[in-house]
Structure 1
Amino acid sequence: MDAATLPIISMAQLDSAEGLAKLRHAASEVGFFYLVDHGLGSDAQQDYLALSQQFFQLSAAEKQQVDMIHSPHFRGYNAVGNEMTAGRLDAREQFDWMNEERALAPEQLRAPWQKLIGPNLWPDGMPALKPALLTLQSKLSDITVNVLQKLVESLGVDRNALDATIGEQPYTHAKLIRYPAQQSTQQGVGAHKDPGYLTLVMQDSQSGLKVERGNDWVDVEPIPGALVVNIGELLELASNGFLKATNHKVESPTQGVERYSIAFFMAAQLSATVPVLSLPPELKARATGPSIDPNNPLLTDVGNNVLKGRLRSHMHVTRKHYCDDPLRDLLAKNFAYMPTADICDECRI
């Protein structure tokens, strides 16, 4: 299917009732759309993707210096096969960074999600990476906050209704991603929904991202300059299911082709609890509640919802940093509804 199978939303048109109606339809009926006129030009995006390629071209030793195994905050580099989605290993190489913060001392931890707070890891051999990615993080954060407020406004609710959950800045998590070529199509990243409010994806010229629509998987072909936006689980919760977090996946490229992308995830502050918005009657009648997956329960407390995904995706980091006392006891209390082995097979919390 071609790019037109997903809606194209212009930021420049979101000050009109027609533009807001189009945004509401895209977010509630599809859960995915292209965003244009957002302020981050195509040339700038290509520069960031080129910077991403430079990072992945670093030596194995330089990348291992910032391997995620060194970070209890789930920051840094992951080699191919070090992340799982839907219980299977992904065929992608990546570098994760989040809000740049100071870690709490062990005695300050009152909830296990507080261990997510901390500094990023930056490679010594590429000093330009840190300022560039922190600048990108700030730009994409502004775009997502703007889109979130427009989305809330499109629902007939005060556009600032979710601002209190964000505070001075939202919780953000971003990834540089490289999908190396495979001899046959493999799981670049398995089918999943994103846990936050909104996700932005910057793609190179290679296809691979697919969105579930009905019984089909729709190709999200790259459009120069456009960002791909999808609704996260927190917005599905906040709208009582009116807005849709949609399953998506990436298939590995073949025939010697690599794929590069940058994914940016925006959520409420980790300490926040997501409220249910008071929708007008005509929309409330169409809000049938968030989807229910017994293997992946949605949590309105943001910190636990985010931590749940991190623990499952990066088991090597979980085993090293989250199975010690007293953190093990905090995990057991916070995730009592989940099977013990789902968190960590080795320590059996």
Structure 2
Amino acid sequence: MSIPVIDIGPLVTGGTGRAGVAAAIGEACRANGFFYVTGHGVDEDLQARLEQQSREFFAQDTGTKMKIRMALGGRAWRGYFPVGDELTSGEPDRKEGLYFGAELPPDDRPLHGPNLFPSDEFRRTVLGYMAAQTQVGHALMRGIALSLDLDESYFAERYTADPLILFRIFNYPPGGDEAWGVGEHTDYGLLTILKQDGNGGLQVKSNANWIDAPPIPGSFVCNIGDMLDRLTGGRYRSTPHRVIGTRATDRLSWPFFFDPGFDADVRAVGQRVLSGEPRWDGADVHEYEGTYGEYLVAKVSKVFPRLLGPAGLEKT
């Protein structure tokens, strides 16, 4: 399996050539669900500031980082968590991280509310980066709509007029050759747009084999999630992936999740495509009934089981 590199400039600018880009995206989604994107238009200086400020934050002592711990964010699911606090498939990940989402006023619904930032400078950088990646997400969904022979506004009109935006910054501490950063999993929503540092570690599953998805300068790695698998009736499958920890140095990554609105009832476009290959976890996203918010909250409750119950919340 090879992971293609696709210039999405025409989708970002609205210029000619969108049909060709959409066809390339469709081919990648049918083949393996992963592709690199260039021509995205996200400012390089903004990315450099994000990387510098992220490294400065994680270089601090644990006590300082815990001043914005996730428990203080309550059900909004925002803030810092230390190594081992996040679970994938029930196993602790070997990473620490910062969780952000759309900057919203306090709300009783899970995954809604204000962010926790270590500084005003970090706040400006993160919010600017999320705004830029939101535009990339809209552009990619226009391409995916065209790849399915739909109007390019199909998803925006039905599912992503007000997308659920989540953004993570992860730091993987050094470890041995086979030190797990994150175990095998698929993502929950529509699209993940991933910025990596230069250390590598991301691997994609192809049949029974794992292949590397190394960083390519100027690009992001994009992969489809469970809801796009569901929307396309299995034509575009969410592909399992994992992270192997690096041996000698920290690894940073910045995954941005572009998902359906919280209250969206995600339904398949056309008929389901049957596949003889079961999912890695035995689940079937096509059998799910409910909104995307309900699906996501059920997943979050397994990732951070202590945070969504009343006993896990703290007062600021």
TM-score relative to the length of structure 2: 0.89
The answer to whether the aligner puts 1:238 opposite 2:228 as a matched pair is no
Query: Per the alignment, do residues 295 and 102 of structure 1 end up closer, same or farther by CA in structure 2, a change over 3 Å counting?
Result: farther
Judge which range, 135-144 or 114-123, deviates more.
Answer: 114-123
Equivalent in the alignment of 1:312: 302
Preserved contact between residue 46 and residue 129 of structure 2 (Cα < 8 Å): no
Equivalent in the alignment of 2:70: 68
Q: Tell me, what secondary structure is at the counterpart of 2:256?
A: strand
Equivalent in the alignment of 2:115: 120
Task: Find the partner of 2:209 among 213, 216, 226.
Answer: 216
Judge which range, 4-13 or 242-251, deviates more.
Answer: 4-13
Preserved contact between residue 195 and residue 254 of structure 2 (Cα < 8 Å): yes
Instruction: Give the distance between the partners of 2:213 and 2:260, measured in 1 at CA.
Output: 27
Deviations 1:169-203 (A, max 9, x none): 31111111100001442220111110111000001
Query: Per the alignment, do residues 214 and 42 of structure 1 end up closer, same or farther by CA in structure 2, a change over 3 Å counting?
Result: farther
Query: Per the alignment, do residues 103 and 251 of structure 1 end up closer, same or farther by CA in structure 2, a change over 3 Å counting?
Result: same
Instruction: Give the distance between the partners of 2:73 and 2:158, measured in 1 at CA.
Output: 26
Query: Per the alignment, do residues 118 and 297 of structure 1 end up closer, same or farther by CA in structure 2, a change over 3 Å counting?
Result: farther
Deviations 1:90-141 (A, max 9, x none): 0001000011112335xxxxxxxx2222111122xx3211111011011001
The answer to whether the aligner puts 1:88 opposite 2:83 as a matched pair is no
Could you tell me which amino acid in structure 2 is paired with residue 274 of structure 1? V
Query: Per the alignment, do residues 318 and 296 of structure 1 end up closer, same or farther by CA in structure 2, a change over 3 Å counting?
Result: farther
The answer to whether the aligner puts 1:30 opposite 2:37 as a matched pair is no
Could you tell me which amino acid in structure 2 is paired with residue 94 of structure 1? G
Could you tell me which amino acid in structure 1 is paired with residue 68 of structure 2? V
Q: Tell me, what secondary structure is at the counterpart of 2:168?
A: strand
Task: Find the partner of 1:53 among 44, 52, 55.
Answer: 55
User: What is the total number of aligned residue pairs between the two structures?
Assistant: 303
The structural deviation recorded for 1:6 is 0.5
Could you tell me which amino acid in structure 1 is paired with residue 179 of structure 2? Q
Preserved contact between residue 69 and residue 320 of structure 1 (Cα < 8 Å): no
Task: Find the partner of 1:287 among 273, 283, 286.
Answer: 273
Query: Per the alignment, do residues 167 and 220 of structure 1 end up closer, same or farther by CA in structure 2, a change over 3 Å counting?
Result: closer
Instruction: Give the distance between the partners of 2:155 and 2:20, measured in 1 at CA.
Output: 23
User: Aligned runs of 1:260-279 on 2, under 5 Å?
Assistant: 260-278=252-270
Larger radius of gyration: 1
Preserved contact between residue 212 and residue 248 of structure 1 (Cα < 8 Å): yes
Q: Could you list the structure 1 runs, at least 4 aligned residues long, displaced by more than 6 angstroms after superposition.
A: none
Instruction: Give the distance between the partners of 1:156 and 1:274, measured in 2 at CA.
Output: 18
Query: Per the alignment, do residues 184 and 291 of structure 1 end up closer, same or farther by CA in structure 2, a change over 3 Å counting?
Result: closer
Instruction: Give the distance between the partners of 1:16 and 1:319, measured in 2 at CA.
Output: 46
Aligned-pair identity in percent equals 26
The structural deviation recorded for 1:288 is 2.5
Instruction: Give the distance between the partners of 1:168 and 1:24, measured in 2 at CA.
Output: 22
Equivalent in the alignment of 1:179: 172
Preserved contact between residue 31 and residue 231 of structure 1 (Cα < 8 Å): yes
Instruction: Give the distance between the partners of 2:224 and 2:128, measured in 1 at CA.
Output: 23
Query: Per the alignment, do residues 222 and 271 of structure 1 end up closer, same or farther by CA in structure 2, a change over 3 Å counting?
Result: same
Instruction: Give the distance between the partners of 2:173 and 2:123, measured in 1 at CA.
Output: 24
Structure 1 alignment gaps of length 5 or more: 106-113, 279-283, 324-349
The answer to whether the aligner puts 1:302 opposite 2:292 as a matched pair is yes
Equivalent in the alignment of 1:7: 4
Could you tell me which amino acid in structure 2 is paired with residue 261 of structure 1? S
Could you tell me which amino acid in structure 1 is paired with residue 48 of structure 2? Q
Instruction: Give the distance between the partners of 1:165 and 1:322, measured in 2 at CA.
Output: 34
Deviations 1:18-74 (A, max 9, x none): 332211100111100000011024454233212211111233222111111222221
